Amino acid sequence: MTGMPAAGQPLRNAMTIDVEDYFQVSAFAPYIDRAQWDGLECRVERNLERILALLDRHGVKATFFTLGWIAERYPQAVRRIVDAGHELASHGHGHQRASELDPAQFRADVTRAKALLEDLSGRPVLGYRAPSFSIGPANWWAFDVLGETGHRYSSSVYPIRHDHYGMPDSPRFAYEVKPGLIEVPVTTLRLRGRNLPSSGGGYFRLLPYALSRWMIRRVNEQDGQSAVFYFHPWEIDAEQPRVPGIDAKSRFRHYVNLRHTLGRIDRLLGDFRWGRMDEIFLPPSGAAQAATTGAAAAALPRLGAALSHEGRL
Ligand SMILES: [Zn+2]
């Protein structure tokens, strides 16, 4: 059977959670000034509790890309994540799209978040995910900054066509974007010459569960690759306050099927094997040399360099 590693076990997929609250999503930025954030009802803590309980029930360890802004206000929640054996990774500090920051601002944002998360957890933070998958050809320099600030992997490019993000012709699976830094794109399914989103977000809430399951299975079995799935704490929270006055498209994307998300994730956790990003995509820790000479790193195509040499910058 394809997609089965030597041990005879099905591939492990990466379960990831972008820890932010409902009022911080990029689509709401035109309607909610960030100066208002502190005055809004925060629901991330209780939603995290539900997620931690669900993961615990399935015995699954996941990766939490956590916003520095949240960690600063809810240090206990961050410690709960770490104490439960999950990987703490960074979602930056202030949730500005990387594409809206200059290199100095981006460096300041990711440095602040990393330091904060490391102080709270007492462990190195190796992973970063840009808000709204906002790294692409126009800000490829962001990878230099991530490498220089001690990140080992990123999950910030979405190889699809979308009005807010996406880089449809970039690699679909993990690759070395520069020496010592791996980009692990969120998973897509290649079908009839197009990349289809198949790994979370609004699409997972909109499509029937069986279709989402079929897409992940296909990636595991036909591509022989681990999938990267993502969701947000606010996506399991049907009772969250409604943001008034937003445009119809953003409203639909944000609120569709919230009530079904937790049950679907429950099924997903039971239907596949899951793990943390660092355990699935980084070479085994312990040997510093493994970062550059390990089998996992060596197997990754050096496409990042090729892309930046083809005039994408
Ligand atoms: Zn986000």
Ligand 1 centroid–CA 218 distance in Å is 27
Ligand 1 centroid–CA 254 distance in Å is 13
Ligand 1 centroid–CA 287 distance in Å is 32
Ligand 1 centroid–CA 160 distance in Å is 17
Asked whether residue 2 is domain-assigned, the answer is: no
pLDDT of residue 39: 86
Residue 14 clears pLDDT 50, i.e. is over it: yes
CA-based nearest residue to 57, from 274, 278, 277: 274
Residue 49 — very low, low, confident or very high, per pLDDT cuts 50/70/90? very high
Summary mean pLDDT of the chain: 87
Full residue range of the structural domain in which residue 157 is found:
12-308
Asked whether residue 1 is domain-assigned, the answer is: no
Ligand 1 centroid–CA 20 distance in Å is 6
> What global pTM score does this model have?
0.87
Ligand 1 centroid–CA 134 distance in Å is 10
Asked whether residue 55 is domain-assigned, the answer is: yes
Asked whether residue 27 is domain-assigned, the answer is: yes
Asked whether residue 7 is domain-assigned, the answer is: no
Whole-number percent of the chain with pLDDT over 70? 87
Ligand 1 centroid–CA 63 distance in Å is 14
Asked whether residue 313 is domain-assigned, the answer is: no
Ligand 1 centroid–CA 69 distance in Å is 11
Ligand 1 centroid–CA 132 distance in Å is 6
Ligand 1 centroid–CA 106 distance in Å is 15
Amino acid 283 reads P
pLDDT in tens, 215-267: 999 999 999 999 999 999 999 888 888 888 888 888 888 888 888 899 999 99
Ligand 1 centroid–CA 159 distance in Å is 17
Residue 212 clears pLDDT 80, i.e. is over it: yes
pLDDT in tens, 142-191: 999 999 999 999 999 988 876 666 677 789 999 999 999 999 999 999 99
Tokens of 214: 């079929």
Asked whether residue 198 is domain-assigned, the answer is: yes
pLDDT in tens, 268-296: 999 999 999 999 999 776 444 444 434 44
Ligand 1 centroid–CA 29 distance in Å is 12
Query: What is the CATH number for 219?
Result: 3.20.20.370
Mean of pLDDT values over 45-50: 96
Number of structural domains in the chain: 1
One DSSP character per residue, the chain reads: -TT--TTSPPPEEEEEEEE--GGG-GGGTTTS-GGGGGGSPP-HHHHHHHHHHHHHHHT---EEEE-HHHHHH-HHHHHHHHHTTPEEEE--SS---GGGS-HHHHHHHHHHHHHHHHHHHSS---EE--GGG--SGGGTHHHHHHHHTT--EE-----S--SS---TTS-SS-EEEETTEEE-PPPEEEETTEEEE-SBHHHHHHS-HHHHHHHHHHIIIII----EEEE-GGGG-TTSPPPTT--HHHHHHHHTTHHHHHHHHHHHHHHSEEE-HHHHHSPPSS-TTHHHHSHHHHHS--HHHHHHTTT--
Ligand 1 centroid–CA 285 distance in Å is 28
pLDDT of residue 311: 30
Residue 113 clears pLDDT 70, i.e. is over it: yes
Asked whether residue 5 is domain-assigned, the answer is: no
